[in-house]
A = this chain, B = another copy of it.
Amino acid sequence: MTEITTDLYQVKEKMYVATDCIIFGFHEGKLKLLVFKRKVEPLKGESSLIGSFVRLDEDLDVAGRRVLKEATGLENVFMQQLKSYGKKDRDPGYRCISIAQYALIRIDEYDEKLVEEHGAHWYEIDQLPNLILDHNEMVQDAMYQLKHNARYKPIGFELLPEKFTIPQLQILYEAIYQRELDARNFRKKVLSLNVLKKLDEKDKTTSKRGAFLYKFDYENYQKLLTSGYNFEIA
Protein backbone atom coordinates (compact mmCIF):
# COMPACT_ATOMS: atom_id res chain seq x y z
CA MET A 1 0.00 0.00 0.00
CA THR A 2 2.44 2.61 1.16
CA GLU A 3 4.80 1.31 -1.50
CA ILE A 4 2.54 2.54 -4.28
CA THR A 5 2.17 5.97 -2.77
CA THR A 6 5.89 6.21 -2.22
CA ASP A 7 6.47 5.37 -5.84
CA LEU A 8 4.35 8.29 -6.90
CA TYR A 9 6.55 10.48 -4.76
CA GLN A 10 9.77 9.32 -6.34
CA VAL A 11 9.91 10.58 -9.91
CA LYS A 12 13.54 11.53 -9.49
CA GLU A 13 15.32 10.60 -12.68
CA LYS A 14 15.31 14.15 -13.88
CA MET A 15 16.35 17.52 -12.54
CA TYR A 16 13.61 20.11 -12.41
CA VAL A 17 14.06 23.82 -11.92
CA ALA A 18 11.34 25.82 -10.28
CA THR A 19 10.93 29.30 -8.94
CA ASP A 20 8.88 30.25 -5.90
CA CYS A 21 7.59 33.74 -5.19
CA ILE A 22 7.56 35.38 -1.81
CA ILE A 23 5.04 38.15 -2.21
CA PHE A 24 5.04 40.91 0.37
CA GLY A 25 2.39 43.55 0.76
CA PHE A 26 1.60 46.27 3.27
CA HIS A 27 -1.92 46.89 4.47
CA GLU A 28 -3.49 48.48 7.52
CA GLY A 29 -0.13 49.12 9.03
CA LYS A 30 0.93 45.49 8.80
CA LEU A 31 3.47 43.75 6.65
CA LYS A 32 1.76 40.82 4.97
CA LEU A 33 2.57 37.78 2.91
CA LEU A 34 0.43 36.25 0.17
CA VAL A 35 -0.06 32.57 0.95
CA PHE A 36 -1.58 30.06 -1.47
CA LYS A 37 -3.37 26.75 -1.22
CA ARG A 38 -1.62 24.05 -3.12
CA LYS A 39 -3.87 22.68 -5.85
CA VAL A 40 -2.01 19.53 -6.85
CA GLU A 41 -0.87 16.38 -5.17
CA PRO A 42 1.23 15.77 -3.25
CA LEU A 43 0.36 18.00 -0.29
CA LYS A 44 -2.78 19.25 -2.02
CA GLY A 45 -4.67 21.75 0.10
CA GLU A 46 -1.69 22.73 2.20
CA SER A 47 -0.47 26.30 2.54
CA SER A 48 2.40 27.22 0.29
CA LEU A 49 4.11 29.88 -1.72
CA ILE A 50 3.22 30.07 -5.36
CA GLY A 51 5.70 28.77 -7.86
CA SER A 52 6.21 27.21 -11.23
CA PHE A 53 8.75 25.27 -13.20
CA VAL A 54 11.07 27.47 -15.17
CA ARG A 55 10.43 26.98 -18.87
CA LEU A 56 13.19 25.99 -21.22
CA ASP A 57 12.80 29.11 -23.33
CA GLU A 58 12.40 31.52 -20.45
CA ASP A 59 14.87 33.57 -18.44
CA LEU A 60 14.84 32.86 -14.75
CA ASP A 61 13.69 36.32 -13.76
CA VAL A 62 11.03 36.24 -16.44
CA ALA A 63 9.68 33.04 -14.92
CA GLY A 64 9.33 34.83 -11.59
CA ARG A 65 7.47 37.70 -13.22
CA ARG A 66 5.21 35.29 -15.05
CA VAL A 67 4.26 33.56 -11.80
CA LEU A 68 3.65 36.88 -10.12
CA LYS A 69 1.45 38.06 -12.96
CA GLU A 70 -0.54 34.84 -13.05
CA ALA A 71 -1.22 35.12 -9.36
CA THR A 72 -1.80 38.84 -8.90
CA GLY A 73 -2.17 40.40 -12.32
CA LEU A 74 0.77 42.69 -11.55
CA GLU A 75 3.66 43.55 -13.82
CA ASN A 76 6.62 45.86 -13.44
CA VAL A 77 6.90 45.50 -9.71
CA PHE A 78 9.97 45.18 -7.58
CA MET A 79 11.22 41.62 -7.69
CA GLN A 80 14.56 40.26 -6.67
CA GLN A 81 16.25 36.93 -6.52
CA LEU A 82 16.65 35.63 -3.01
CA LYS A 83 18.42 32.30 -2.99
CA SER A 84 18.41 28.82 -4.48
CA TYR A 85 17.14 25.91 -2.47
CA GLY A 86 18.68 22.65 -3.55
CA LYS A 87 18.53 19.96 -0.88
CA LYS A 88 18.18 16.69 -2.73
CA ASP A 89 15.10 15.65 -0.77
CA ARG A 90 13.51 19.06 -0.37
CA ASP A 91 10.55 18.01 -2.52
CA PRO A 92 9.15 14.51 -2.10
CA GLY A 93 7.80 14.48 -5.65
CA TYR A 94 10.68 15.60 -7.82
CA ARG A 95 14.37 16.21 -7.73
CA CYS A 96 13.80 19.90 -7.93
CA ILE A 97 15.87 22.97 -7.31
CA SER A 98 13.93 26.09 -6.59
CA ILE A 99 15.14 29.64 -6.96
CA ALA A 100 13.16 31.82 -4.59
CA GLN A 101 12.41 35.36 -5.68
CA TYR A 102 10.68 37.96 -3.59
CA ALA A 103 8.35 40.68 -4.71
CA LEU A 104 7.13 43.87 -3.07
CA ILE A 105 3.72 44.87 -4.30
CA ARG A 106 1.27 47.66 -3.70
CA ILE A 107 -1.53 45.90 -2.02
CA ASP A 108 -4.12 48.28 -3.41
CA GLU A 109 -3.20 47.40 -6.98
CA TYR A 110 -3.41 43.67 -7.26
CA ASP A 111 -6.18 41.78 -9.01
CA GLU A 112 -8.40 40.40 -6.26
CA LYS A 113 -10.25 38.00 -8.52
CA LEU A 114 -7.07 36.32 -9.66
CA VAL A 115 -5.86 35.99 -6.11
CA GLU A 116 -9.15 34.49 -5.06
CA GLU A 117 -9.09 31.99 -7.89
CA HIS A 118 -5.76 30.81 -6.58
CA GLY A 119 -7.17 30.37 -3.12
CA ALA A 120 -4.67 32.87 -1.79
CA HIS A 121 -4.87 34.93 1.37
CA TRP A 122 -2.84 37.67 2.97
CA TYR A 123 -1.36 36.81 6.34
CA GLU A 124 0.35 39.13 8.74
CA ILE A 125 4.00 38.35 8.78
CA ASP A 126 3.99 37.23 12.39
CA GLN A 127 0.89 35.10 12.06
CA LEU A 128 1.84 32.90 9.16
CA PRO A 129 0.48 29.38 8.87
CA ASN A 130 2.90 26.53 8.44
CA LEU A 131 4.00 26.22 4.82
CA ILE A 132 4.97 23.12 2.90
CA LEU A 133 8.47 21.90 2.09
CA ASP A 134 11.14 24.48 2.75
CA HIS A 135 8.83 27.42 2.16
CA ASN A 136 8.97 28.50 5.79
CA GLU A 137 12.70 28.82 5.43
CA MET A 138 12.29 30.80 2.24
CA VAL A 139 10.02 33.28 3.98
CA GLN A 140 12.40 33.64 6.87
CA ASP A 141 15.29 34.26 4.52
CA ALA A 142 13.22 36.76 2.59
CA MET A 143 12.30 38.65 5.75
CA TYR A 144 15.93 38.84 6.67
CA GLN A 145 16.80 40.08 3.21
CA LEU A 146 13.99 42.62 3.26
CA LYS A 147 15.15 44.05 6.59
CA HIS A 148 18.64 44.22 5.29
CA ASN A 149 17.80 45.76 1.95
CA ALA A 150 15.37 48.26 3.39
CA ARG A 151 18.26 49.66 5.33
CA TYR A 152 20.40 50.51 2.35
CA LYS A 153 18.05 50.95 -0.55
CA PRO A 154 14.80 52.82 -0.42
CA ILE A 155 12.81 49.76 -1.41
CA GLY A 156 10.18 50.44 1.19
CA PHE A 157 8.49 52.76 -1.28
CA GLU A 158 7.67 49.76 -3.47
CA LEU A 159 5.14 48.65 -0.89
CA LEU A 160 3.27 51.94 -0.63
CA PRO A 161 0.86 53.58 -3.03
CA GLU A 162 2.38 56.17 -5.32
CA LYS A 163 1.37 58.95 -2.97
CA PHE A 164 2.01 58.38 0.69
CA THR A 165 2.53 60.29 3.90
CA ILE A 166 5.60 60.23 6.10
CA PRO A 167 3.72 58.66 9.01
CA GLN A 168 2.64 55.86 6.64
CA LEU A 169 6.22 55.35 5.57
CA GLN A 170 7.30 55.20 9.16
CA ILE A 171 4.70 52.59 10.04
CA LEU A 172 5.93 50.52 7.12
CA TYR A 173 9.52 50.69 8.31
CA GLU A 174 8.40 49.80 11.79
CA ALA A 175 6.65 46.75 10.36
CA ILE A 176 9.76 45.73 8.44
CA TYR A 177 12.15 46.23 11.32
CA GLN A 178 9.62 44.99 13.84
CA ARG A 179 10.43 47.76 16.26
CA GLU A 180 9.29 51.29 16.92
CA LEU A 181 11.02 54.31 15.50
CA ASP A 182 11.18 57.87 16.72
CA ALA A 183 8.93 60.06 14.57
CA ARG A 184 11.19 63.11 14.63
CA ASN A 185 14.36 61.25 13.82
CA PHE A 186 12.63 59.24 11.12
CA ARG A 187 11.26 62.30 9.40
CA LYS A 188 14.60 64.05 9.61
CA LYS A 189 16.34 61.06 8.12
CA VAL A 190 14.08 60.35 5.18
CA LEU A 191 13.79 64.01 4.25
CA SER A 192 17.55 64.38 4.36
CA LEU A 193 17.86 61.71 1.69
CA ASN A 194 16.35 64.11 -0.83
CA VAL A 195 14.30 61.50 -2.60
CA LEU A 196 10.84 62.67 -1.59
CA LYS A 197 8.77 65.17 -3.52
CA LYS A 198 6.29 66.95 -1.29
CA LEU A 199 2.89 67.39 -2.91
CA ASP A 200 0.28 70.05 -2.33
CA GLU A 201 -2.22 67.48 -1.18
CA LYS A 202 -3.05 66.08 2.19
CA ASP A 203 -4.29 62.70 3.22
CA LYS A 204 -7.01 63.15 5.77
CA THR A 205 -8.02 59.55 6.26
CA THR A 206 -6.06 59.09 9.43
CA SER A 207 -6.29 62.45 11.10
CA LYS A 208 -8.35 65.61 11.17
CA ARG A 209 -5.38 67.76 10.51
CA GLY A 210 -4.24 65.64 7.60
CA ALA A 211 -0.72 64.73 6.59
CA PHE A 212 1.06 65.93 3.48
CA LEU A 213 1.41 63.44 0.68
CA TYR A 214 4.77 62.72 -0.92
CA LYS A 215 5.97 60.97 -4.03
CA PHE A 216 9.18 59.07 -4.42
CA ASP A 217 11.56 61.01 -6.65
CA TYR A 218 13.06 58.36 -8.91
CA GLU A 219 15.10 60.77 -11.01
CA ASN A 220 16.79 62.34 -8.04
CA TYR A 221 17.35 58.92 -6.53
CA GLN A 222 19.20 57.78 -9.64
CA LYS A 223 21.26 60.94 -9.67
CA LEU A 224 22.23 60.52 -6.03
CA LEU A 225 23.00 56.83 -6.52
CA THR A 226 25.54 57.50 -9.22
CA SER A 227 27.17 60.16 -7.08
CA GLY A 228 27.78 57.56 -4.39
CA TYR A 229 25.32 58.48 -1.69
CA ASN A 230 24.59 56.73 1.55
CA PHE A 231 20.94 55.70 1.83
CA GLU A 232 20.92 54.06 5.17
CA ILE A 233 17.47 54.45 6.67
CA ALA A 234 16.59 54.01 10.33
Contacts and interface: CB of A to CB of B under 8 A. Distances in A.
23 contacts: A13-B56, A14-B14, A14-B56, A15-B15, A15-B16, A15-B17, A17-B97, A54-B86, A56-B88, A56-B95, A57-B88, A58-B88, A59-B87, A59-B88, A60-B84, A60-B85, A60-B97, A61-B86, A81-B84, A84-B84, A84-B99, A86-B99, A97-B97
A223 interface: no
A83 interface: yes
Contacts of A54: 15, 86, 97
A133 B61 CA distance: 18
Contacts of A13: 56
Contacts of A84: 60, 81, 84, 99
A189 interface: no
A95 B97 CA distance: 15
A83 to B, nearest CB: 6
A202 interface: no
A56 B81 CA distance: 23
Interface string A9-23: 000111111000000
Contacts of A17: 15, 17, 86, 97
A56 B59 CA distance: 22
A129 to B, nearest CB: 27
A160 to B, nearest CB: 26
Contact of A15 (B56, B61, B83, B86): B56
Given A58-B88, A60-B86, 6 more contacts: A17-B86, A17-B97, A57-B95, A59-B86, A60-B84, A97-B97
A84 B56 CA distance: 15
A58 B87 CA distance: 7
Contacts of A15: 15-17, 54, 56
A113 to B, nearest CB: 30
Contacts of A60: 84-87, 97
A39 to B, nearest CB: 23
A95 B59 CA distance: 10
Among A13, A57, A63, A97, max chain B CB count under 10 A is at A97
